[in-house]
A and B are shown apart, each in its own frame.
Chain A
Amino acid sequence: MWSRLKQMLMKEFIQVFRDKRTRFILIIPPIVQMLVFGYAATYEIRHVPMAVLDLDQSQESRDLISRFTSSPYFDVERQVTSSRQLDDLIEQGNATVAMEIHAGFAQKLRKGETAPVQVIVDATNSNTALIASAYITQIALGFARSYQQDWIGRVAPQITQVVPSVELEPRPWYNPNLSSRWFFVPGVIGSLTLVLVITLTAFAVVRERELGTLEQMMVTPIRPVEFILGKTLPFFLIGVFDVSLIAAVGSLWFQVPFRGSLGVLALGAVLFLLCMLGVGLLISTVSSNQQQAMVTAFFFIMPAVTFSGFGFPISTMPMWLQYLTYLSPLRYFLVVLRGTYLKGVGIDVLWPQMAAMGGFSILLLTVAILRFHKALD
């Protein structure tokens, strides 16, 4: 048994490392994708193009505009002269936010009235629109508050000191700077490993079927379990290597802190890799060539990533979808990744995720092996 398995493994590694393309796939794309995700995947908004129409031309209106100009979130690129121009800029996509200050803005404020300011937000990207609106509100409220204080100071200087107010002191735990990179980088480790291990495993088995070497091997005394181990163990080891590689880039390049225990992360990675090997094998049993394997893998990978909480929070999904997310092994691994990286929690907190991945790996591998036996006949 051991000598046949050893031979399978040697053959597999020779094949992987002799092929320039495979060698390349194992190292370069994971790093590149990690860098791309690290830089590109972010919920933060900066330099949102903004157009302003100031029909009031007062001290107050210029003060309000200057608060936007000095904000890092908005670039006030155009000062226009008609509301028609505002509409055009939004429509052409040259401005995401447009603000119109009506004539009489300052007059109303001086009288102590509420002065409306119209703000148009291009909500094509609802996420950007939401965050931009929040910033706009913040800036407008900041302006209003300091104007109120000035106004009270002028009208009734004696009560300036005693205006009651509430001061919030938010403490964002685990990610004090609210950096979305810290949120994304651990997730990228999981999703990249998922794609890599599933496709490599599925392709490696399907290629044997396509070339006729699978049938050739079945007339030798090799046992299916030896074949399956020989086919999966190399990709397990490659998966471990890639997890380490991507994690190293995350820690060394993006400086994402790692606060938990490496052992817990390793355990989670092993269980997750076993699940992915099972999925890869399953795909190979239902595909007779590499194109089919590709399409089948795609149909698994897309929902598996979407439902994992990688990009969209699970808690905002409709309830029936939330139940579906329990089927994605990546969901559990992401909790382990973010838990060990950012929260620094241990197995006492993460054991349900470990148990789920353990259960899934047993289930997936069993079904894959049974199906594999059948597919050989």
Chain B
Amino acid sequence: MQDAAIAVNGLTKRFPGVSAVDGLSFAVRAGEIFGLVGPDGAGKTTTLRILAGILAPDAGTANIAGTDVIRLPERAKHALSYMPQRFGLYEDLTVEENIRFYSDLFGVKRAEREARGTELLRAAGMLEFRKRLAANLSGGMKQKLGLVCALIHRPKVILLDEPTTGVDPVSRRDFWRILYELLAEGVAILTSTAYLDEAERCHRVALLHQGRMLFCDTPANLKTRMRKNVVSVASTNPRLIRMHLERAQGISSLVMSGDGVHIVVDDAATRIPQFTAQLTAEGVAFESIVQVPPTIEDLFVDAVESKGAARG
């Protein structure tokens, strides 16, 4: 734990009537990207705010780059960067002025700022917008500018709170490319995300539910924990497929996607022939029916449901 870039132990934060974070422990290595996944109210933002040194926990310890962020937040702040869901940009300042402002707050030297700023803006595909007012940027651009401002002082630890919520796909791609480049520099990244496909880009993810950790592992390992199978039915009319299979036996959940239906079943080997037979008998056309590897989302839904069932 000593050499971990982020080390969290027994972190607890209660708000009146609710435990936002409940005995959370994990560690993130340098060069690792770690995802916090969970529904709203799972405690992701609270955890990140504690680690950023702007919220005091009720119990537990948190170290950022070897500094106790709870006791010495001022020292830890030099090594970390926190990006909330909406980065606090000054909309009446230009792109360049925002970068300059944040870099000066961190005491970044002028030459360093120029070099680093240009490099980051290029990576974000925003070099030509330097003189533009932040107010006149698109949502994705604003968030990328936030990332540039957050990275200008070369932090060792980056805390991101649902950084790509509401960001267009192109900007999201830029965003992740920048993050992966940082990993190569030995930066540790802790990100929370509502997009489960994004969680699969993390080295490890922790599934949070009501302030507690359900699982923590690599996305691939997590998927092997899935006791159920996932079947994908490809069709040009997913709605019709759903109508016919909704009440079939062995289904625990059924989600429509753009090009078909995603079904979580108890056992794929018995259910695929069963569904095929049913759809054929009822005269419903479909392109294919195959077993697919579960996604984090499937896993999460399954984990929360079985927990709920166990409690109920």
Instruction: Point out residues on A near B: beta carbons under 8 Å.
Output: 3-4, 6-7, 11, 14-15, 18-19, 208, 211-223, 376-377
Contacts and interface: CB of A to CB of B under 8 A. Distances in A.
A219 B146 CA distance: 13
Given A15-B93, A212-B86, A223-B74, 20 more contacts: A7-B101, A7-B104, A7-B105, A14-B93, A15-B90, A18-B92, A211-B89, A211-B91, A212-B87, A215-B84, A216-B84, A219-B53, A219-B54, A219-B80, A219-B82, A220-B106, A221-B74, A222-B105, A377-B54, A377-B55
Given A3-B104, A218-B54, A220-B102, A11 B93 contact: yes
Contacts of A208: 88
Interface majority SS (helix, strand, loop, mixed), chain A: helix
B173 to A, nearest CB: 25
B100 interface: yes
A216 B104 CA distance: 14
Contacts of B101: 7, 11
A219 B159 CA distance: 11
B93 A219 contact: no
The 4 closest A-B CB pairs, nearest first, are A216-B88, A213-B88, A7-B104, A212-B88
Nearest to A208: B88
B113 to A, nearest CB: 11
A377 B88 contact: no
Contacts of A212: 84, 86-88
Contacts of B53: 219
A377 B56 contact: yes
Contacts of A3: 104, 107
Nearest to A11: B101
Given A4-B105, A7-B101, A215 B92 contact: no
B52 interface: yes
Given A14-B97, A215-B84, A216-B84, A221 B107 contact: yes
Nearest to A6: B104
Contacts, number: 69
Given A219-B52, A221-B77, A19 B104 contact: no
Given A219-B53, A219-B80, A213 B104 contact: no
Contacts of A18: 92-93
Contact of A213 (B77, B81, B89, B106): B89
B78 interface: yes
Contacts of B77: 219-221
Interface in B7-24: none
- With most chain B CB atoms within 10 A of its CB, the pick from A215, A217, A219 is A219
B53 to A, nearest CB: 7
- With most chain B CB atoms within 10 A of its CB, the pick from A11, A18, A212 is A11
Interface string B67-99: 000000010011011101011111111000100
Contacts of B81: 219
A6 B87 CA distance: 22
Nearest to A7: B104
Contacts of A222: 105
Given A15-B93, A19-B92, A220 B105 contact: yes
Nearest to B87: A216
A220 B54 CA distance: 10
Contact of B105 (A19, A221, A376): A221
Interface in B251-277: none
Nearest to B104: A7
A221 B106 contact: yes
A111 to B, nearest CB: 84
Contacts of B89: 211, 213
Given A3-B107, A221-B74, A221-B105, A11 B86 contact: no
A219 B106 CA distance: 10
A192 B15 CA distance: 43
B105 A215 contact: no
Contacts of A217: 88, 105
Contacts of B52: 219
A14 B93 CA distance: 8
Contacts of B105: 4, 7, 217, 220-222
A217 B149 CA distance: 11
26 contacts: A4-B104, A6-B104, A7-B100, A7-B104, A11-B90, A11-B97, A14-B97, A18-B92, A19-B92, A208-B88, A211-B89, A211-B90, A212-B87, A213-B89, A213-B90, A216-B82, A216-B84, A216-B87, A217-B88, A219-B52, A219-B80, A221-B77, A221-B105, A222-B105, A376-B54, A377-B56
A222 B73 CA distance: 11
Nearest to A212: B88
A228 to B, nearest CB: 14
Contacts of B87: 212, 216
A215 B97 contact: no
Contacts of B88: 208, 211-217
Contacts of B92: 14-15, 18-19
A214 B77 CA distance: 15
Nearest to B52: A219
Contacts of B107: 3-4, 221
A216 B101 CA distance: 12
Contact of B54 (A7, A11, A215): A215
A262 B162 CA distance: 57
B32 to A, nearest CB: 21
Contacts of B78: 221
Contacts of A211: 88-91
- With most chain B CB atoms within 10 A of its CB, the pick from A14, A217, A221, A376 is A221
- With most chain A CB atoms within 10 A of its CB, the pick from B81, B86, B90, B93 is B90
A15 B135 CA distance: 13
Interface in B96-133: 97, 100-102, 104-107
